[in-house]
Structure 1
Amino acid sequence: MADKRLVRSTEHRWIGGVCGGVAEYTGLDVTLIRLVVVIGAFLAATTLLIYLFAWVVMPEGPPAAPPASGPAPAPPSG
């Protein structure tokens, strides 16, 4: 089994990467996690406190791989 760690996402980050990290750890869609957090924030202020606590406590994950670039442009002729 792979060594999974709960870390803040560097790829799926909007604010702190907490929702992206939880989504990567659980295998759920990041949009679903964000939706749950937003709804929870409206229902209970403790959701915001938990998010802020996780932002401080969770380590940042490794940097995301740079996007793959297409073929190199041809040099100018002349």
Structure 2
Amino acid sequence: MFGILRIGAYLVSGLTVWQFFQGDIGGMNGALHKALTLDPSHGMLLGVCAGVSNFTGIDVSLIRFIWALLAFYRGAGIALYILAFLIMPTYGQ
């Protein structure tokens, strides 16, 4: 359980650092200018999976399925979902 939470914390912190430093890297002029935000208008519960889907371009159903599998594995998905909800800003803010 601790290993899963640690991996999730590394992923969230890595995405946070990447978002912080996503300026004009290598002359790409904002090609990486997507923001990892909540999307409550398209979300089922709080908009975390919809926001991750918008950010990565992966289908939201696949992300919800993976998150549900993590929830059944010792509740790691529930903890990561709540953590992501607390960290991610709302779309448009």
**TM-score, normalization by structure 2:** 0.62
Contact 1:9/1:60 (8 A) holds in 2: yes
Hey, which of these two has a bigger chunk of helix by percent? 2
Structure 1 position 62, deviation (Å): 2.5
Query: In structure 1, what is the equivalent of residue 12 of structure 2?
Result: none
Structure 1: distance between partners of 2:32 and 2:41: 20
User: Partner of 2:57 in structure 1?
Assistant: 27
Give the C-alpha shift of residue 44 in structure 1.
2.6
User: Number of matched residues?
Assistant: 63
Tell me which stretches of 4 or more aligned residues in structure 1 moved more than 4 Å: none
Q: What corresponds to 2:71 in structure 1?
A: 41
% of aligned pairs identical?
34
The alignment partner of 1:49 has SS state of helix
- The residue identity in structure 2 corresponding to 1:25 is F
Mapped contact 2:43–2:50 kept (Cα < 8 A): yes
Q: One-letter code of the match for 1:59?
A: P
Question: Which is higher, the Rg of structure 1 or of structure 2?
Answer: 1
Structure 2 equivalent of residue 18 of structure 1: 48
Whole-Å Cα distance in 2 between the matches of residues 62 and 13 of structure 1? 15
Gaps of 5+ in 2: 1-30
* Residues 12 and 30, structure 1, Cα contact 8 Å, conserved in 2: no
Contact 2:39–2:90 (CA<8 Å) still a contact in 1?
yes
RMSD between superposed Cα atoms in Å: 1.6
Q: Deviations over 1:19-62 (max 9, x none)?
A: 00001100000010001111110113122111001111100102
Gaps of 5+ in 1: 64-78
